[in-house]
């Protein structure tokens, strides 16, 4: 399968789909909507990009980054 990266208008190639189980990786033949899987070695795709069917392109807005709720510095105790 060659999905379209609609964010960067580039075609990608999927070699292997992996299901992550703790520290283990298990190769699977396919994935459905809503499943969380890993795909290695994309050339153009990065976090926040939209992958879609080239025949029905769609682009979703990237996820919004949230402002930090708490901020502090850690220093060693003087001896």
Alpha-carbon Rg of the chain, whole angstroms?
18
CATH number at residue 13: 2.40.30.10
Residue 24 to residue 41: CA distance in whole angstroms: 18
pTM of the model: 0.67
DSSP 8-state class, residue 9: T
Q: Can you read off the two tokens belonging to residue 66?
A: 């949230």
Average of per-residue pLDDT across 64-72: 89
Q: Is residue 17 part of a domain?
A: yes
Q: Can you read off the two tokens belonging to residue 10?
A: 């580039």
Query: Which residues form the domain of 13?
Result: 4-52
Instruction: Place 50 in a pLDDT band, splitting at 50, 70 and 90.
Output: very high
Residue 68 predicted with pLDDT over 90: no
- The pLDDT assigned to 48 comes to 86
The whole-angstrom distance between residue 32's C-alpha and the CA centroid of its chain comes to 15
pLDDT, tens only, 3-43: 999 999 999 998 899 999 999 999 999 888 888 899 988 99
* Count of structural domains within the chain: 1
Q: Can you read off the two tokens belonging to residue 69?
A: 């709720």
């Amino acid at each position: 399968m060659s999905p379209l990266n609609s964010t960067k208008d580039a075609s990608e190639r999927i070699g292997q789909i992996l299901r992550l189980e703790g520290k283990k990786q298990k190769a699977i033949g396919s994935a459905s909507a809503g499943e969380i899987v890993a795909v290695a070695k994309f050339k153009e795709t990065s976090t926040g990009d939209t992958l879609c069917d080239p025949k029905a392109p769609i682009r979703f807005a990237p996820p919004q980054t949230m402002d930090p709720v708490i901020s502090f510095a850690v220093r060693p105790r003087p001896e």
